[in-house]
Copies of this chain bind each other. A is one copy, B any other.
Amino acid sequence: MLDAVLARIDDTLPESLERLMALLRIPSISTDPAYAEACQSAADWLVADLASFGIAAEKRATPGHPMVVGHVSGEGPHLLFYGHYDVQPVDPLELWDRDPFDPALEETPAGKVIRGRGASDDKGQLMTFVEACRAWAAKHGSLPCRITFLFEGEEESGSPSLVPFLEENAEELRADLALICDTGLFESRAPAIITMLRGLLGEEIVIRGPDKDLHSGMYGGPSINPIRVLTRALAGLHDDEGRVTVPGFYDGVPELSPELAAQWDALNFDAAGFLGGVGLSEPAGEAGRSALEMIWSRPTCEINGIVGGYTGEGFKTVLPAEARAKVSFRLVGTQDPAAIREAFRAQIRAALPADCTVEFHDHGASQASHMATDHPAFEAARGALAEEWQTPAAFAGCGGSIPIAGHFKKLLGMDSMLIGFGKDDDQIHSPNEKYDLESFHKGIRSWARILDAVSK
């Protein structure tokens, strides 16, 4: 059964590619109001395309760009597939080698690539799933399980309509599991299912001392300098081993399971190449932890911005009235953002000398997400991916946060399998975006295998 679907995918690849090209020609830039009609057109195109192989789909209005929602009934697990049809702006246009919305298949030394805005992020990835479903339907007359399609048109502009839409349509959209195709291959070569997403806690601190900027000649010595207080407080956030000193910070930070550690080892992460790509040679951070472990499964505390006093050309001997910093924590496991925020604030307050005050600004918080990989679909999908790519697939972590997965968990109570086929050099959000034909072709085949495996 699966073999017939895979054969059809191979046979009809040119037609699949033509459809993707048609979608790529629609300039659905969500942040620019000038392209609002193009966003409508892209949604219409998707509704028609789903309908063309029997999916009841419709365009659903939001205060912003529309959602596309489609349903197909079936036996077995109920899956929700999410992708987004909007794309990033194209400027600087002069850095493109071709019209971003006149896509083409190009030969490159590394193979054939589909060049154009949205080729990888996310129209190409979105269509891998649609094409897999189309091939399945063509061969079997129906899909192997119940599927809900949800395509968003505002992902590149902060998804303002998404949460209200999920809340208003929770009953309709709730499924057993979400499939999200907006990520990449591990090191551009190995398939992975992201099952751990770090949480994020943002704080801004403003330390104030004198009630005005002072001259360091007149006041330097007896007057407290808020920059000095700030640097001292921030320097105290890590110990000599690179561990965060905030009391209770490591509560809820799990050690990696031997199974997951073995999967990650098998990925043969090229730490030297990863760091070397940005001009670094040695992992910093927590002593005794590998680079991959630190990115995927260890919490961090970072200073993302700092400013105080005179920062222009030349020199001014000012003792400023205030100094500011933005500090973020990446969270894992069951670390409690609220408790960490309080402990952080208490630590900063305790570091204040006389005459200094501190003001805190809350820049949001989200807990880490850990998918319940004991759901059999996860192992099934992992096996399917390994089969297609002929290389071990891992349950991977992700150092950043992917908000959609958190929304699905919080609002619809479902875990997500984040699977994607993008490569590191796809230049998403940049000029000359591309998607490898291999990513597209094997991506479609991967979804066919996954649909087969999870429906058994």
Measuring CB to CB, which residues of chain A are less than 8 angstroms from any residue of chain B? 198, 200, 202, 204, 209-212, 214-225, 227-228, 230-232, 234-236, 238, 271, 274-275, 278-286, 289, 291, 294-295, 298, 300, 302-311, 314-320, 323-326, 328, 330, 353-355, 363-364, 398-401
**Which 3 pairs between the two chains have the least Cβ-Cβ distance?**
A217-B400, A221-B294, A211-B279
CB <8 Å contact, A303 and B307: no
- Assess A291 versus B217: contact at CB under 8 Å? Given A305-B308, A309-B305, A326-B310: no
Chain B residue numbers with a CB within 8 Å of A278 are 210-212, 214, 219, 223
A221 to B309, Cβ gap below 8 A?
A: no
Residues in B neighbouring A354, C-beta threshold 8 A? 281-282, 284
Contacting A311 at CB < 8 Å: which of B283, B309, B324?
A: B324
Q: Are B228 and A231 closer than 8 Å at their CB atoms? A: no
A204 to B315, CA, bound (A): 8
Complex A-B: 26 CB contacts under 8 Å: A209-B280, A210-B278, A211-B279, A212-B279, A216-B302, A217-B330, A217-B399, A218-B399, A219-B295, A221-B298, A222-B275, A223-B285, A225-B302, A225-B303, A227-B234, A227-B306, A228-B302, A230-B306, A282-B354, A304-B315, A304-B317, A304-B319, A305-B308, A306-B306, A306-B309, A310-B326
Cβ–Cβ < 8 Å partners of A209 in chain B: 279-280
Given A211-B279, A221-B294: A310 in contact with B305 (beta carbons within 8 A): yes
Whole-angstrom CA separation of A216 from B401 in the bound complex? 10
Report the Cα distance A285→B319, complex, angstroms: 13
Measured in the bound complex, the distance between the Cα atoms of B15 and A377 in whole Å is 101
- In the complex, what's the smallest C-beta–C-beta distance from A21 to chain B, in angstroms? 30
Q: A280-B355, A284-B353 are in contact. Are A220 and B300 (CB under 8 A)?
A: yes
Q: Which residues of B contact A363 (CB under 8 A)?
A: 314-315
Q: Which residue of B lies closest to A210 (CB)?
A: B278
Determine if A400 and B238 form an interchain contact, defined as CB atoms under 8 angstroms apart.
no
Are the C-beta atoms of A280 and B223 separated by less than 8 Å?
yes
A193 to chain B, nearest CB (A): 18
Q: Which residues of B contact A328 (CB under 8 A)?
A: 216, 315, 317
* Shortest Cβ gap from A149 to chain B (Å): 28
Q: Quote the shortest CB–CB distance from A324 to chain B (angstroms).
A: 7
What CA separation (Å) do A266 and B387 show in the bound complex? 90
How many whole Å from A417's CB to the nearest CB in chain B? 19
Neighbouring B residues of A216 by C-beta, 8 Å: 300, 302, 304, 328, 330, 399
Q: What is the CB-to-nearest-CB distance from A238 to chain B, in angstroms, rounded to a whole number?
A: 7
The residue on B at minimum CB distance from A279 is: B211
A306 with B219: CB separation less than 8 A: no
For residue A228, which residues in chain B have a CB less than 8 angstroms away from its CB? 234-235, 238, 302-303
Interface centre among A200, A214, A236, A355 (most CB of B within 10 A): A355
Determine the chain B residues whose CB is within 8 A of the CB of A274 once the complex forms. Answer: 222
A300 CB contacts on chain B under 8 angstroms: 216, 220-221
Return A2 CB to nearest CB of chain B, in Å. Answer: 35
Residues of chain B lying within 8 A (CB to CB) of residue A217: 198, 200, 330, 398-401
A399 pairs with B220, CB closer than 8 A: yes
Q: A225 CA to B304 CA in the complex, in Å?
A: 9
With both chains docked as a complex, state the minimum distance between the C-beta of A303 and any C-beta of chain B, in angstroms: 4
B309 touches A308 (CB 8 A): no
Q: Which of A202, A211, A225, A280 has the most CB of B within 10 A?
A: A280
Given contacts A209-B280, A304-B316, 4 further A-B contacts (CB under 8 A): A212-B278, A225-B284, A305-B308, A315-B326
